[in-house]
Amino acid sequence: MNASKFFLKAANSLVTAIVALFLILAAAYSGYALWDNAQVYGAVDDIQSQLLKLKPDPEQKDGGTSFEELRKINPDVCGWITLDHTKIDYPILQGEDNLTYINTDVYGDFALSGSIFLDSGCDRNFQGKYSLLYGHHMAEHKLFGDLYL
């Protein structure tokens, strides 16, 4: 009887330790996930604030020197999208295929948020029958996050 009480206490302590360890690991992973998510959204803000300085000015007859500066950063830039009353204000890229910019920013660096890009089969001068744009729909009004589904 004494042995069974000892065994039950030991088993209870072991289960308590395992549950406590699991909760600590879950809390640590949750903290990491929140931090990582904040990094992804922060990267979008950083890139957008840098690129807004190079936003083309349609008032200029030649399209603006800033568009050429943007093309020096990445020759795949083919336009700029701005939607009134939203935070959608980004350059448009077109890669060799539709996977090029799904997880790549304008600078060519890996970014989970990716970029807004034109379908690889569309005319990069926007003279075709249609122009299909892709981009992630993200929370906090990032990329196409202001569009309602």
**Does the pLDDT of residue 63 top 90, yes or no?**
no
Q: How confident is the model at residue 5 (pLDDT cuts 50, 70, 90)?
A: confident
Joined together, the tokens standing for residue 126 give 């926007």
Tokens 């992804």, residue located: 40
Joined together, the tokens standing for residue 55 give 């936003």
Classify residue 101 as exposed, middle or buried by CB count within 10 Å of its CB (0-12, 13-18, 19+): buried
CA–CA dist 79, 85 (Å, integer): 19
* Per-residue pLDDT tens over the stretch 26-57: 999 999 999 998 998 888 888 888 888 888 87
